[in-house]
């Protein structure tokens, strides 16, 4: 599934943002993205040592980083050395994508009409924004809002009272009532008496045959996208924060919470009310017991339980 840009981007050169820097090439900025996905004329950022392996291979043209970390970047990458990477990144994002730090209401919304969406079934008072695409034989429940540029595939069922923005949804996806998908995540930089809002320029990608139960919240990505893989099921009231990537064939029980930038493998099962901390990697075929608190990476084929979550055998010894 291919991502797309939902936000207006300004045409800006690097030296318009960094006028005092000694950058070798003054290029028009293509995008701001992660070390792993960055390419020619992209700006990336490097703020944690645990991303060292990715930093060494990045193809970004420019990277915002610190004095201690710059040595891990390839010689082909220009550097902007700062004290607070995320603070500087938030300022740059705001300049390049000026409307990405606040979720303004979509004023283009109009009542959906079947003549514009052939073979789509609409309930009462469904509102649709500009540029929305909805596939054949899809059903949209009453009082649901589909904001501008959202794409929904064939044979989907979207419940009543949902709000979907900044999202691309595959085929045969079921989203039950009162879900909120694609809104800005929880991100800010503390700065004396005022918090700086961190812009969110990513989107939500929901792949084929996913089922999302009632009252779930899935935030769009801040830099990269938030992704839910094929044939994954989310129970009621699951929260998926920005940049989270959930693999295929996962089963996530009610009230599970994923903090930002956590990565979940394929065939993962998580019991109710468990929590996964941010920037963690959970391997394939992992099982996590209900009520657990995951605070470190978990390798493939493991069973973890407890708070903090530990391997099942270790958990049972403590009983």
Beta strands in 214-299 (DSSP E): 217-218, 226-228, 233-234, 239-240, 245-246, 251-252, 257-258, 263-264, 269-270, 275-276, 281-282, 287-288, 293-294
Query: Per DSSP, what are the bridge partners of residue 180?
Result: 163, 217
Residue 316 main-chain phi, psi, to 5 deg: -70, -30
Please answer whether residues 243 and 226 qualify as being in contact, where contact means their C-beta atoms are separated by less than 8 angstroms: yes
DSSP 111: E
Map tokens 């596939």 to a residue. Answer: 135
Residue of 200, 239, 242, 279 with catalytic role = 242
Nearest to 251 by CA among 238, 262, 260: 238
DSSP 3-state assignment of 317?
helix
Per the annotation, the verdict on 242 as an active-site residue is yes
211-212 sheet: strands from edge to edge: 121-122, 139-140, 157-158, 174-175, 211-212, 233-234, 251-252, 269-270, 287-288, 303-305, 310-311
Rounded to an integer, what is the distance from CA 239 to the centroid of its chain? 12
Rounded to an integer, what is the distance from CA 304 to the centroid of its chain? 25
Map tokens 């993205």 to a residue. Answer: 33
Who contacts 141 (Cβ-Cβ below 8 Å, separation ≥6)? Answer: 123, 126, 158, 159, 160, 161, 162, 177
Q: Could you list the active site residues?
A: 242
């Amino acid at each position: 599934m291919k991502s797309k840009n939902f936000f207006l981007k300004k045409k800006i050169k690097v030296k318009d943002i960094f006028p005092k820097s000694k950058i070798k090439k003054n290029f028009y900025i293509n995008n701001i993205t992660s070390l792993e996905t960055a390419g020619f004329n992209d700006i990336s950022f490097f703020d944690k040592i645990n991303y060292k392996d990715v930093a060494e291979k990045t193809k970004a043209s420019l990277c915002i980083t610190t004095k201690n970390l710059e040595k891990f970047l390839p010689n082909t990458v220009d550097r902007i050395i700062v004290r607070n990477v995320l603070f500087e990144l938030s300022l740059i994002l705001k300049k390049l994508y000026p409307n990405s730090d606040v979720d303004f209401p979509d004023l283009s919304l109009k009542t959906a009409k079947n003549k514009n969406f052939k073979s789509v079934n609409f309930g009462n008072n469904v509102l649709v924004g500009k540029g929305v695409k909805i596939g054949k034989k899809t059903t949209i429940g009453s009082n649901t809002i589909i904001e501008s540029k959202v794409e929904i595939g064939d044979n989907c069922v979207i419940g009543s009272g949902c709000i979907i923005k900044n999202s691309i949804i595959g085929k045969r996806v079921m989203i039950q009532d009162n879900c909120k998908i694609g809104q800005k995540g929880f991100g800010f930089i503390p700065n004396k008496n005022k918090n700086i809002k961190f812009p969110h320029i990513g989107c939500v990608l929901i792949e084929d045959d996913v089922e999302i139960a009632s009252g779930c919240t899935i935030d769009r990505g801040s830099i990269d996208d938030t992704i839910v893989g094929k044939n994954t099921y989310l129970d009621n009231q699951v929260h998926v924060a920005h940049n989270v990537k959930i693999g295929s064939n996962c089963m996530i029980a009610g009230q599970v919470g994923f903090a930002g930038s956590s990565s979940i493998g394929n065939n993962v099962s998580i019991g109710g009310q468990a929590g996964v901390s941010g920037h963690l990697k959970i391997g394939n075929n992992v099982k996590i017991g209900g009520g657990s608190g995951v605070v470190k990476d978990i390798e493939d084929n493991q069973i973890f339980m407890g708070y903090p979550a530990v391997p099942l055998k270790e958990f049972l010894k403590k009983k």
